[in-house]
Structures are given as structure tokens and as C-alpha cells.
Amino acid sequence: MIEAHIRKVFAGSSGSAPFELNIHVKSDAEITVLFGPSGAGKSLSLDCIAGFVRPDEGRILVDDRLLFDADSGVSLPARERGCGCVFQSESLFPHMNLFENLWFATGRFPRRERPGKVREMLERFHLDELGLRRPHELSGGQRQRGAIARAILSQPSLLLLDEPTRGLDAALRQEFYSLLKEARSAFGIPVVMVTHDVEEALELGVGMHVLVGGRIAQSGTPKEILDAPATAAVARLMGCYNVLQAEVLGLDPATNRSRLRISAGDETRFEIIGPYLPGLMLGAKVQLAVREDEIEFGTAPEGGVKLQLRAVVPLVRGARIELEGGIRVSVPAPPDRDQLRSPVVRFRPQSLRVVKS
Amino acid sequence: MGIDWFPLWLSLRVASLSTLIALLGGLWAAWLLSRKDFRGREFVDAAVTLPLVLPPTVLGYYLLVLLGRAGPIGRLYESIFGEPLVFTWKAAVVAALFHSSPLLIKSARAALESVDPYYEKAARSLGASEWSVFWQISLPLAWNQVLAATALAFARSLGDFGITIMLAGNIPGRTQTVSVAIYDAVEGGRGDVARILVLVISIVALTFLYLANRMARNQFGRAV
């Protein structure tokens, strides 16, 4: 289990605002994902856990072992933290062959056992024929397998992965996901992984923390966060939500419904029926998140809103339709001409989620 | 035409020794400047760079004041070794050292800074000490550029004139380096001697610069 409370402030340089990382992460998940946009503080969090950056305040514990505690002045150096790190797709040492790379991680074993340990690990990761090759003579997938094998060989109590699939194509990413899951279950080492790729977070994450602007915006399982984003920023990061501004025009507890005026973009205004919104007054302004694939699309859905078509983007499955006001709708099959000539959308009340700003 | 080859051999010996000392001290200084965030780092960097921009005579004057028989370091040296430092071939080594080491430190610092920090982080996370990270990761990855910087420093040591003549003088057969000998030959109207020495020293310097360029190329097939 990892528990990390980290606060680190960087003074802004030449007029830019200071950046403050202030997070509290507690997870006993097999694979914990730190997810967020660039500049949110994900990699910095990992650097603090690994011992590359010293936090200003906080405490870091891995399996009840204290790695850092600002109050008592404990700060183990990176080499004593037992955190195996894998960075992007280029973390094997380029001046060593694969065997030497793995050998570098065998410092904790008696010298006579090291060759056997390296060979065993090369075999387990299907790299036994490639030991004499330098990293630039290996494929991206082989390099990543080598990097994971090397990290595990150092007997870490925690694996830290910083965007490990950056630069890999879709097929290699899938290969890496399988490899990571296999390695995790075979060696039983918990993993903390940083990514800004939502598909990757959903694919691998058992626990997930969403970082926005140096703070944890939401924690939970990936599915919980995907189904119910807590804030507009989290909803936008999920990549499949429309975030709409709404004004409450009417509330009817008898039918459990509300009447809402939606503002999308600069000029698009329309009224829809929404869920009953307890605790809100008439005239209150709220933000609503609605998934692209939960908006009904057609020529005449009952109670629908007619919107102008902006673009149609073909997807692997179906298409994404972009409408006025920046509203996006995902449909499972490419729309026909009639649907595109006069597009109408309908928002189901239960698909509208109120999110914080 | 009899050519005295002593200045050439002395220059090669002086340049070799000063480059070796510059490499050992310069690597340490380069590592300190590139990796350690300490108070006064920018001042140390400026002080290290100063010999590159000061006129050699100014630098020679400073060194003469410090290392001369009346200077604090000169007196200390004489009390330990029983002979003065100035106007000996060792003074020529000091002169070449101050002439070339700023170049080596600057280039070695740039080389160490060009090493991707991810490699050093990965090494630390695998249990390596700072010593091990430097010798097994940082230096090998920067080695070609450090070697190129060393070759440049050697070539620059060969060519020093101003500091050498102020600190070591122009004593034929004892402290006369090749650049001083060329000056002496031109002043003495021995154009043929000057031409041959100029040609030889140019070939040696060109060879080292060519090697420096070759070595600066990356050996790993990709940027580090």
C-alpha cells in the first residue's frame, strides 16, 4: 500500500504564477493511475515518491516503510527507496547492451548469482536471444520489456511508470498493457503509473486519481470517475463529455423533472427537460456534463433540439458529429444523409450530470 | 639550417601534462556546475570562464603576482620544493592549464548536461550510488564529447603564448615552448625555422581538431 501526502511549491519565474503541488494519495490497488493533463503535477508526484525531488511538506509511506517525513526530517535517497522506475520508451542505458542493462540492477544479489538472475529475467520477458543487443538495435516493445525486466530485477517494493507508452504505436501499447498486467500478477509488485491518456487509464487502472492544477480533483475506480465526473475539468479530461452551462427555469418535484435553458458557445441557446435538481433555486446556474454517446441523434427524436451541423468525423466504430455550440455526439453507425440534412438531438434527463466548476 | 626541436617536445610535454590535470580537475568542476545547486554557482561559473575572455597578459600578470617568488603561492611552493616555480617548464604547465581548462570545463559541463536525466534517475532507482551514477552512466554517455573537449584543450594548450612568456619566460632549452620559439625565430630573422615550426604545429593542432570533431559524434546511434 502507498500513502503519500506531498506539498511542493515552485516559485514562478519571470512573471509566471507559482505552481503548488498539494496531493494526498492513498491506494492499495494493484495498479494506481495518476491521470491528468500536462502540467498537472503527475510526474512531479512520481519524482517526489521516487526520491528525485524533495517535497516541502508531507509524508510518504510504502507498505508501512517511511520513505519521507518532513516533520521528522526523514528523506531516504532514491537508491534506498526501492522504487523501480520506468520512463517513457527510452529508459534503457544506450551505452550498455540489454544484458548489461539488467546486470546494472543486480546490486542486491551476491555476485555469483547475478548472471543467473539476469538470464532468468531475460527468459521470462522473452528477451533471451537479445541480450547482446544495444537498445537502439531493439524495437520499442522490446526496449519497454527490457526496462520493466530491469526494474523488477532490482527487487522494488513499488513500480513507478511515467508515461511508459509514449512513443509506442497502438499495437505496441496493447502488447505493453498485457505485459504489465502479467508482470504485476507474476511478481506481485504494486504499480503507480502516470498517464494523460484516458484509454490507458481505463485499460490499466484499478485505482485512479485525477490531478488538475496540482490538486487531486477526483479519486475512485476508473469506471466510477468515467460514470460520474465530479467537476467540469474532470469531465473534459475524460474526453467523451460535453460540458454545458445551464440555467434553472423550472423545478417540478411531482414529476421529478426540471426545465433548463442551455447555453452552448456564444450564440446557441435552447431549452430542455432535465432531472429534478434538489437544493437549487429558480434562476440558479449550473454546469452539466453529458456523454457524447448518451445524446440521442436523428431527424426527429421526440422533444428534440434542432442544431446546425458543423462536421462529421468518422471513427473506427461509427462517427462523431460536431454541432453548433461545440456540442459533440457519438453515434454507433455513420449517419445517413437525411440525419445530416436536418440534425436533431435529444438529451435524456438521466444522462445529465451536475458537475462542479 | 639546424632546427632545435626542443620547443616542440617541450610544448607536447607541457600540453599533455596540463591537459591531464585539466581533465581531472575540469571533470569534477563540470560535474559540480552541472549537477549541484549551491550558493555562488553562477559566480564560480563566471570565474571559471574569465580566462577565456581576459587578455593573456592580464592573466599572466595575476599568475605572476600569485606564483612569483614574492607571491603567496610562489613562496609556499619554494619552501616545499626548494626552488622557485616561475621561469621553469612547470610554470609553462600552469600557464597552459589556465589557458585551456576553461574550454574543457565549459565543454564537459555542456556534455554532462546533455545526458538525459531519465538515465540518471533510472540508475538511482536501481540502487546505484552517486559515484556509480557518474562513472557508469553520466560519464560514459558524455564520454565522446568530453574526449572531444580534451582534444580541444590539448590543441589550445599547445598554442599558448602570452601567459607562458610572462610566467615561464623564454629560456632556450628550458622554458621555450614552440609558440615562443616561433616568435623568437621571427624576431631573430630566422624565417625558415619559423616556417617549419609553424607548419608542424599547425599540422598537430589540425589533427587534434579533426579528432575532436570525429569524437564529438554520437556513438550510440541516437541522441543521449
Asked whether residue A28 falls in the same domain as residue A154, the answer is yes
Set of chain A residues whose Cβ sits within 8 Å of the Cβ of B119: 91, 93-94
Mean pLDDT, residues B182-205 taken together: 92
Residue B224 has pLDDT above 60, yes or no: no
Average pLDDT, chain B: 90
Asked whether residue A169 falls in the same domain as residue A251, the answer is no
Mean pLDDT, residues B96-113 taken together: 93
Three-class secondary structure of residue A45 per DSSP: helix
pLDDT at A28: 83
Mean pLDDT, residues A274-278 taken together: 92
A164 touches chain B (CB under 8 A): no
Comparing CA positions, the residue from B5, B15, B18, B20 lying closest to residue B200 is B5
Asked whether residue A110 falls in the same domain as residue A83, the answer is yes
Asked whether residue A221 falls in the same domain as residue A272, the answer is no
B136-161: b or e for each residue (b if 16 or more CB lie within 10 Å)?
Answer: bbbbbbbebbbbbbbbbbbbbbbbbb
Residue B105 has pLDDT above 90, yes or no: yes
Amino acid at A129: E
In chain B, % of residues over pLDDT 70:
96
pLDDT at A265: 82
Of B119, B126, B129, the CB nearest to A105: B126
Residue A255 has pLDDT above 50, yes or no: yes
B43 touches chain A (CB under 8 A): no
For A150, the closest chain B residue by CA position comes to B126
Of B127, B129, B141, the CB nearest to A154: B127
Mean pLDDT, residues B17-25 taken together: 95
pLDDT digits (tens, 9 = 90+) for A57-83: 999 999 989 999 999 999 999 999 999
Which among A1-5, A101-105, B46-50, B209-213 has the top mean pLDDT? A101-105
Distance from CA of A180 to the nearest CA of B (A): 18
Asked whether residue A199 falls in the same domain as residue A115, the answer is yes
B218 touches chain A (CB under 8 A): no
H helix or E strand, kind and range, residue A254: none
pLDDT at B221: 46
CB contact under 8 A, B121 and A136: no
CB contact under 8 A, B222 and A93: no
- C-alpha grid cell, residue B152: 580541444
Poorest-confidence range of A43-57, A147-161, A303-317, B108-122?
A303-317
Query: What's the CA gap between A255 and A22, in Å, rounded?
Result: 43
Comparing CA positions, the residue from B118, B214, B32 lying closest to residue A89 is B118
CB contact under 8 A, A136 and B221: yes
Asked if the structure places residue A48 within a domain, the reply is yes
Nearby residues of A76 by Cβ (< 8 Å), 6 or more positions away: A51, A67, A68
pLDDT digits (tens, 9 = 90+) for A179-208: 999 888 899 999 999 999 999 999 999 999
- C-alpha grid cell, residue B14: 607541457
pLDDT at A276: 93
**Residue B124 belongs to a domain with what CATH number?**
1.10.3720.10
pLDDT at B222: 45
CA angle A268/A273/A275 to nearest 5° reads 120
Q: Which of A46, A47, A79 to mutate to test the interface with B (most CBs of B within 10 A)?
A: A79
Query: What's the CA gap between A23 and A212, in Å, rounded?
Result: 10
Asked if the structure places residue B67 within a domain, the reply is yes
Among A199, A228, A257, give the residue marking a domain's end. A228
CB contact under 8 A, B136 and A104: yes
Nearby residues of A85 by Cβ (< 8 Å), 6 or more positions away: A46, A50, A91, A151, A159, A160, A161, A162, B121, B122, B125
CA A1 centroid distance within chain: 20
pLDDT at A3: 92
Instruction: State the DSSP string of chain B.
Output: -----HHHHHHHHHHHHHHHHHHHHHHHHHHHHHH---TTHHHHHHHHHHHHHS-HHHHHHHHHHHHSTTSHHHHHHHHHHSS-STTSHHHHHHHHHHHHHHHHHHHHHHHHHTS-HHHHHHHHHTT--HHHIIIIIIHHHHHHHHHHHHHHHHHHHHT--HHHHHHT---TTTT--HHHHHHHHHHTT-HHHHHHHHHHHHHHHHHHHHHHHHHHS-SSSS--
Burial bucket for residue A287 (CB in 10 Å: 0-12, 13-18, 19+)? middle
For A151, the closest chain B residue by CA position comes to B126
Domain membership of residue A71 as a residue range:
2-228
Query: What's the CA gap between B39 and A247, in Å, rounded?
Result: 57
First vs last Cα of chain A: how many Å apart?
A: 32
Residue A44 has pLDDT above 90, yes or no: yes
pLDDT at B209: 85
Query: What's the CA gap between B100 and B84, in Å, rounded?
Result: 23
In chain B, the number of structural domains is: 1
Residue B186 has pLDDT above 50, yes or no: yes
Strand partners, A195: A35
Residue B220 has pLDDT above 70, yes or no: no
Asked if the structure places residue B68 within a domain, the reply is yes
More confident residue, B170 or A302: B170
Helix residue ranges per DSSP H, chain A: 42-50, 98-103, 114-124, 140-153, 170-187, 198-204, 222-227, 232-238, 337-341
Asked whether residue A188 falls in the same domain as residue A284, the answer is no
Query: What's the CA gap between B64 and B73, in Å, rounded?
Result: 10
DSSP single-letter state for residue A205: -
In chain A, the number of structural domains is: 2
Domain membership of residue B184 as a residue range:
6-216
Asked whether residue A129 falls in the same domain as residue A256, the answer is no
Other C-beta atoms closer than 10 Å to the C-beta of A219 total 18
The complex's ipTM?
0.83
More confident residue, A18 or A71: A71
Comparing CA positions, the residue from A284, A273, A247 lying closest to residue A262 is A247
Asked if the structure places residue B162 within a domain, the reply is yes
Distance from CA of B220 to the nearest CA of A (A): 6
Distance from CA of B219 to the nearest CA of A (A): 8
Among A171, A199, A228, give the residue marking a domain's end. A228
Distance from CA of B221 to the nearest CA of A (A): 7
Asked if the structure places residue B221 within a domain, the reply is no
Query: Which of the four pLDDT bands, split at 50, 70 and 90, describes residue B219?
Result: low
Asked if the structure places residue B210 within a domain, the reply is yes
Distance from CA of B31 to the nearest CA of A (A): 18
Is there a contact between B118 and A90 (Cβ–Cβ < 8 Å)?
yes
Residue B140 has pLDDT above 80, yes or no: yes
Asked whether residue A99 falls in the same domain as residue A212, the answer is yes
Asked whether residue A121 falls in the same domain as residue A266, the answer is no
Asked whether residue A111 falls in the same domain as residue A15, the answer is yes
Average pLDDT, chain A: 91
Helix axes B139-158, B191-216, angle to 10 degrees: 170
Nearby residues of A62 by Cβ (< 8 Å), 6 or more positions away: A1, A2, A49, A81, A82, A83, A157, A158
Residue A283 has pLDDT above 70, yes or no: yes
Query: Which of the four pLDDT bands, split at 50, 70 and 90, describes residue A301?
Result: low
**Residue A189 belongs to a domain with what CATH number?**
3.40.50.300
Asked whether residue A207 falls in the same domain as residue A284, the answer is no
Helix axes B89-113, B56-67, angle to 10 degrees: 120
Asked if the structure places residue B222 within a domain, the reply is no
Set of chain B residues whose Cβ sits within 8 Å of the Cβ of A135: 220
CB contact under 8 A, A107 and B128: yes
Asked if the structure places residue B170 within a domain, the reply is yes
pLDDT at A267: 83
Residue B223 has pLDDT above 60, yes or no: no
Query: What's the CA gap between A212 and A208, in Å, rounded?
Result: 13
Is there a contact between A261 and A268 (Cβ–Cβ < 8 Å)?
no
